[in-house]
Amino acid sequence: MIMVTAWNAYMSWSQNSQVLAAYALAGAFATPLLLSSGGNHEVFLFTYILAIDVATVLLVRLKPWPRLLFGVFPATVAFFIGWYVEWFDVYNTPKPLVVTEVFIALFFLTFLLPSLFRNEKQTSTPVTEILLPLANAIFAALAFYSVLQDTGNHDFLPWLAVIYAALYLGLMRLPQPRITSAVHLSLAIVFLTIAIPLKASGRWIIVGWLAEGATLLWVAARLSNPKSDEADFAAPQILRRLAAAALVLGVCGLLIEPFWLNERIDTAFFNLRFATALFGLAALGLSAFIAHRPLSHPNKDTAFPSWLLIAGSSIVAFNFIAILACLRELDSAWQVTAGNPEADLQKALAISAFLMLYGAALLAVGFWKRSAFIRWQALLLLVFTIGKAFLYDLRNLSQGYRVLSFLGLGALLMAISFAYQKDWLALRLPNPSPAPPTQEGTDQ
């Protein structure tokens, strides 16, 4: 079967046929499955797969066939996962641990080569410049993490992240495409971000997602050139999609963090949960700032998601996470007084007061930036807060206080609407001067 695979590889080379090369690789990866004896042969299996990977990488460097990596890399990952699930738990002595780590490092270094030392004659593709470096980093990091975690070597995980960051910073000094260098920089920043001593907590994964999203978005913005042709937009568009996906994962992590970790919070605002939320707000604010930039040719920005969509979504997510994080901390501040009717009313009023203040601040920012998008968010928040205050918070107040509250709110809303109608804040744009009549219009 190895000879058949070698013959197919030779025919693909001599006939210059990518289809025959794919057929040869399919047969090569089918050989271990068809001839499996049901035993654990780690060294032979991984040496065989490593030889296929090295041959494929060399073939991709000599031929413009980067799509072969779409089959070779996932197959390598699948074989490693299958072996790990089946044999690593029972094959857990110090010697096989070192052997497994060596093979992980060899796989990682093999798939680094397609994006390095490229000359001008070789074709630049998003597969070798973006997708493969990112997928290779994720595979190797998770593989090392699983091996170290399952063998009780959790203390080495922070140093592993530092080693990865140093490696990617060193790779930037090697000859490589500009886009790949930017990807390596972003990966180095991500690994440095999560290199803080890792604990038995999932919040560092959230921090890593948010840092990766903001960093990739910055790289995509730096690489975007509206004056270039459509072909040059492929790499920034892929980076933009990856950044949006990472930010979505980070926001979802912030939403489910209390249910995921189920930690006891003793001090409101001074805890790791709120610190994680603050990091998320910084990442979302930076993402909105990066994405909200004028393009000289906005019609060419037709890819999904567009810069405008990313900026708007980041602003909405920023406000939602900020409100949700503060509401969680206010709830923790009154947690010790649960069941006390007076304390419950105080908590409800404190939450309504915070929502009112945040809505007013958001409305002021919308007026300052002349952004109807931000003003509408503020108005929706204020309307919700008003409904909450009068339908829920004031149910235990006496009738006199309710009347005074309604009168005060009505006077405040009338004053705001009157100031807006009189344009005391100078929000209206000046009317454009009428265009002078044309000669044809004058003759008529």
Q: What is the pLDDT of residue 300?
A: 54
**For 314, what's the count of Cα atoms within 13 Å in the CB-facing half-sphere?**
29
- Report cis status (omega within 30 of 0) of the bond before 305: yes
pLDDT digits (tens, 9 = 90+) for 259-310: 777 777 778 888 888 999 999 999 999 999 998 864 444 445 566 788 888 9
Q: What pLDDT band is residue 322 in, cutting at 50, 70 and 90?
A: very high
Total-model pTM:
0.62
Decide which of 436 and 405 is more confident. Answer: 405
Q: How confident is the model at residue 442 (pLDDT cuts 50, 70, 90)?
A: very low
User: Which residue in the block uniquely carries the two structure tokens 């470096």?
Assistant: 133
Token pair 């300052």 is found at: 368
Predicted confidence (pLDDT) per residue in 36-66, tens digit? 787 788 888 999 999 889 888 888 887 878 8
pLDDT of residue 294: 45
What is residue 307's predicted lDDT score, i.e. its pLDDT? 85
Q: pLDDT by residue (tens digit) across 136-162?
A: 999 998 898 888 887 777 778 778 888
Measured between its terminal Cα atoms, the distance across the chain in Å is 89
Task: Name which of 197-201, 204-208, 284-288, 351-355 the model is least confident about.
Answer: 197-201
pLDDT reported for residue 341? 60
For residue 247, give the nearest of 284, 195, 192 by alpha carbon: 284
Binned at pLDDT 50, 70 and 90, residue 397 comes out as low
- What's the mean pLDDT in 103-128? 77
Q: What is the mean pLDDT of the chain?
A: 78
How far is residue 286 from each of residues 19, 217, 406, measured CA to CA in Å? 45, 9, 40
Higher pLDDT, 416 or 324: 324
